[in-house]
Amino acid sequence: MRYYPVLLDLVGRPAVVIGGGAIAEGKVAALVAAGARVTVIAPGLTGGLAARHRAGRFAHVARAYQHGDLAGAFLAIGATDDPEVNHAVHAEAVSVGALVNVVDDVPYCQFILPSILRRGDFTVAVSSAGHAPALAVRVRERLERELGDEYGRFLELAAELRAPLAMAVPDFQRRKAIWYRLVDSDVLVLLRAGQEMRARARVAEITGVELAGASGRESSAEIAGRSRPDGPGTVYLVGAGPGDPRLITARGLGLLAQADVVVYDRLVSAALLEQARSDAELIYVGKAPGAHCVQQDGINDLLVREARFGKMVVRLKGGDPFVFGRGAEEALACVEAGVPVEVVPGVSSVLGATASAGIPVTARGLAGGFAVITAHRAGPEDCHDWAALARMDTLVVLMGVERLPQVVERLLANGRTPDTPVAIVENGTLATERVIEATLANVVERAQAAGAHPPAVVVVGETVRLRGALTPRAATDLTADLSAADDRHVA
């Protein structure tokens, strides 16, 4: 056994995280939750980290790592995208006697971070010794489906019971037998069913020790101010809009400002996260092409679990939750779990990005209808009806940059003419918005030459021609000046 499993008490201990990106975000959240005194050293921070910093959760040194930054540290984490920096962090940590972990670089880790399941004080850590973290995640996700928050509530009862039981039953062996009877009893079943009073009465029956609340009295935890709602909290699936934080709905903004927990995606604006309460828990579950921070089943379980703790959960999703946002899956997961869920519509990039770029999706005499597809389904298992899509007046393709050649090939093969106008709208509605205009015949070449990248919306159809009239600064000839493409923005 190479690794000796332990659970560290980090309360009040100094921990230093080098790096301010998405990977560092998860590490910082866990360290803060464990009570460590966290310092993040990085030139910049993600939106989630920035919001936590403003709430006073950790200290931030806004510069790159320098030797000497780990002086006095109990624990250090190297989470930059530069191996040389991470290895320097490792070397300094070893020299000052700090525990060190370099993310995803096992030879430079004195400890590895397991995949963790938490139910209150009940903690399960799953490790693959760094060989296959994905396996550890899958095992943890399986346990999450089987072990509910009743385990955390059981430990709350156990904490109340331990001292009075020790006084009532001084003999260790007898007391040990009682604990096993308690664990093997139906107390967990009663807690899972939400029958707290009956569970307390059952504890009294088994142990001979009556806890507060077993006969209708208020529990000591409740007297101290901790109360759990009788029913679950509510999950709100909120559309954050196409990019510009001002385009969220008033309803969505109001819910965001009240939420206990905000579960947010990669494209959600940092300015929106600033609108959350300073004590709200911000959980990043972003997905980039080919790289998912949290799998969809894990997101579903997270929403249900947090709501079952009686929390108000806002699931903040780019665009509209029900337009290729997998919002339906998340809503169904809540319904099946008996958790109240409300969908708050958002401005989809289908309409927001195109409008911002000056491209109507319908226009009298040019387009009487439009279709929306995701290019993710333009791969090997393509199930789109391309013959029907090629006949649509306007076609909007989401997540289309990566598979643009396949989309163009299928449209041309099904009768769309090569001179059909095409526009690629990057970062729609933001100050960094850029539009690349072309035709089906040359859009792949122009996109490659201009360095087109996600997030982007692809629009195919005659209404693209209106852009020149609707946006005076619209670029009409990228071929003449592709070298300047990165500087071409739309107001």
Please write the tens of the pLDDT for every residue from 377-422.
666 667 889 999 999 999 999 999 999 999 999 999 999 999 999 9
Q: Which residue has the tokens 């996700």?
A: 141
- 282 and 358 housed in the same domain: no
pLDDT band at 288 (very low <50, low <70, confident <90, very high): low
Q: Is 128 among the domain residues?
A: no
Whether residue 191 sits in one domain with residue 258: no
Q: Is residue 222 predicted with pLDDT exceeding 80?
A: no
- Looking at the chain, the whole-number percentage of residues with pLDDT higher than 90 is 58
Q: pLDDT tens for residues 307-326?
A: 988 899 999 999 999 999 89
325: in domain: yes
Same domain, 244 and 361: no
Tell whether 97 is covered by a domain: yes
Q: 70-73 long-range contacts, Cβ below 8 Å, gap at least 24?
A: 70/16, 70/96, 70/98, 71/96, 72/14, 72/96, 73/14, 73/15, 73/16, 73/98
Catalytic annotation on 311?
no
Question: Are 402 and 453 contained in the same domain?
Answer: yes
Residues 211 and 312 in one domain: no
Q: Is the dihedral of CA 82, 88, 93, 99 positive or negative?
A: positive
C-alpha 284/C-alpha 305 separation (Å) is 16
> Do 370 and 323 belong to one domain?
no
Q: 296 with 379, same domain?
A: no
- Residue 266's domain is classified under what CATH number? 3.40.1010.10
CA distance 348 to 317: 10
What is the C-alpha to C-alpha distance for residues 357 and 237, in angstroms, rounded to an integer? 27
Shared domain for 399 and 457, answered yes or no, is yes
Domain-embedded: residue 81: yes
**pLDDT on residue 327:** 93
Residue where a domain stops, chosen among 347, 382, 407: 347
Min mean pLDDT across 194-198, 215-219, 234-238, 254-258 is at 215-219
306 is a domain residue: yes
- For residue 231, the model assigns a pLDDT of 58
| Strands laid side by side in the 370-374 sheet | 370-374, 394-398, 456-461, 421-426, 434-439
Of the listed ranges 355-359, 380-384, 447-451, the one predicted with least confidence: 380-384
Domain assignment of residue 49, yes or no: yes
Query: How much is the pTM?
Result: 0.59
Check pLDDT > 50 for residue 294.
Answer: yes
The answer to whether residues 181 and 193 belong to one domain is: yes
Give the total number of structural domains in the chain. Answer: 4
Which one is catalytic: 287, 297, 301, 393? 287
Amino acid residing at 435? V
The residue among 347, 369, 387 that closes a domain is 347
What average pLDDT does the segment 356-360 reach?
Answer: 95
* Average pLDDT over the chain, rounded to an integer: 86
Residues 209 and 174 in one domain: yes
Spot the catalytic one: 69, 149, 244, 265.
265
413 vs 488 pLDDT, higher one: 413
Is-catalytic flag, 176?
no
Residues 249 and 312 in one domain: yes
Q: Is 398 left (phi over 0), alpha (psi -120 to 50) or beta?
A: beta
152-161, 246-255, 284-293, 337-346: least confident range: 284-293
Residue pLDDT, tens place only, 124-151: 889 888 788 888 888 888 887 778 888 8
pLDDT category at 6 given cuts 50, 70, 90 is confident
Domain final residue pick, 170, 200, 223: 223
Same domain (yes/no): 393, 464: yes
**Residue 156, in any domain of the structure:** yes
Residue 362's domain comprises 350-487
**SS3 state of residue 114:** coil
Asked whether residue 141 is assigned to any structural domain, the reply reads no
Predicted confidence (pLDDT) at residue 484 exceeds the cutoff of 50: no
* CATH, residue 479: 3.30.950.10
In the prediction, which pLDDT does 227 show?
Answer: 36
- pLDDT band for position 114 (50/70/90)? confident
Q: Report the CATH number that the domain containing residue 105 is assigned in CATH.
A: 3.40.50.720
Beta strands in 375-420 (DSSP E): 394-398
